[in-house]
Structure 1
């Protein structure tokens, strides 16, 4: 009797379906690879001869000519007047607009000009006969910076104690390291004697009380006149 042949083949099993996360992983991997390729090719496909845009460069400081005026012979020009002082309403927006306009012409910072302009505004109401221009304060700061002074505008401790006041109505104590307070205290000091600093005699008298050295005052004159002239230029 013939024996029935038995099959030695392994039984077939149905294919197992892929876990649901595998297609998602493959898709994510494809996105990552595409991103890497794009990053690697950025700049390679830039048209020939085309350079990346240069980084913006800061504007150089305004050149201040050395005028060396004789004491009492002239006064610096008045700069573009700061906005009117409005005691009962906020004038911060007007001051900022003015500072930005003057900054574009003088290359001084908006923050510095706001301090000088605020001092002019305060003194216009407190000492209307003084006629102090912000340009004189900018000239003093220019010379102080050139001479390496540690503060924005340096006043002797006894002068600071007598003339300092808070430039902002926030109830805080005046700070000699704060440019707003330093500019305001300097303006109060320059106008303390009641002289009209819009006149040559009054300006030189006031400045030589601030610093009796003629070369120092001449440098302040040159800087103040330069900033004032630039501020009103078309």
Structure 2
């Protein structure tokens, strides 16, 4: 995520300012030169994407944490239609349910989280990675060193504890947090007592917490665009997230009407 979007920070409280600035310093997603996201040239990117319908909640959670909040049949059907891995979709959808219960005015759709997750790490599958049943993505997805070459320079802040680099920070995990940002936004979304940026439950909930503090709502165009820009201000990034998020909302609608 880039360092170019500071205007939005002026409206935030002092308590979150440091975390916001740290998050904006993350470079472009590591997949930006990998497999292409849905092409804005082939499919014009929407200006913004409304929140997809809130997934049904689980009546009998099969696991702890945010992933256990969503109905398993819904996850199976939408995963088959959208191509999002079942375990990863459960994290996105369960996080949306959790945030709706906590801050319904935010209106952060699971499809927007999924759009970000697609662009950042191909839903935790970048370079052959996969997500285990407990939500851990392995092998760990780690970005390039933020050494000031083609990125902002961010000297090491965690002694290499989460990114394996004791010289410079690197973005890590399926939602690509830098260590400094993770220190501010770390959360246990999986219910195992550990906050781990390489765990999709933890990373998705941390991203949602950040986004819902960055803007008051994702329910209108201006706010949605400002929220995505707070994560990464590159216009191409916004287009890619919007295209993917719209595609996932449509896939969920198709899966629902066919059931």
**TM-score range normalised by the length of the shorter chain:** 0.5 to 0.7
2:220 is matched with: 199
Deviations 1:78-123 (A, max 9, x none): 334222488xx84738532221121121121110100101110111
Measured at CA, do residues 229 and 77 of structure 1 come closer, stay the same or move farther in structure 2, by a change above 3 Å?
farther
| Runs of 4+ residues deviating >6 angstroms | none
1:153-172 matches, cutoff 5 A: 153-170=175-192, 172=193
Q: Computing the radius of gyration over CA atoms, which structure comes out larger, 1 or 2?
A: 1
Aligned-residue CA RMSD in angstroms? 2.7
Of the three residues 94, 97, 102, the one matched with 2:78 is: 102
1:51 is matched with: none
Of the three residues 89, 98, 123, the one matched with 1:122 is: 98
Find out whether 1:83 has 2:56 as its counterpart: yes
Distance across 2 between alignment mates of 1:85 and 1:199:
28
Distance across 2 between alignment mates of 1:94 and 1:173:
21
1:177-192 matches, cutoff 5 A: 177-192=198-213
2:244 is matched with: 223
1:36-115 matches, cutoff 5 A: 64-66=38-40, 67=43, 69=45, 74-84=47-57, 90=61, 92=68, 94-115=70-91
Distance across 2 between alignment mates of 1:194 and 1:110:
29
**2:70–2:90: 8 Å Cα contact kept in structure 1?**
no
Measured at CA, do residues 195 and 210 of structure 1 come closer, stay the same or move farther in structure 2, by a change above 3 Å?
same
Deviations 1:2-60 (A, max 9, x none): xxxxxxxxxxxxxxxxxxxxxxxxxxxxxxxxxxxxxxxxxxxxxxxxxxxxxxxxxxx
How far apart are 1:69 and its partner, in Å?
A: 4.2
Measured at CA, do residues 208 and 232 of structure 1 come closer, stay the same or move farther in structure 2, by a change above 3 Å?
same
1:10-29 matches, cutoff 5 A: none
| TM-score for the superposition, normalised by structure 1 | 0.63
Report how many aligned residue pairs link the two structures.
167
Measured at CA, do residues 194 and 220 of structure 1 come closer, stay the same or move farther in structure 2, by a change above 3 Å?
closer
Between 135-144 and 75-84, the greater mean CA deviation after superposition: 75-84
Distance across 1 between alignment mates of 2:69 and 2:223:
32
**1:78–1:225: 8 Å Cα contact kept in structure 2?**
no
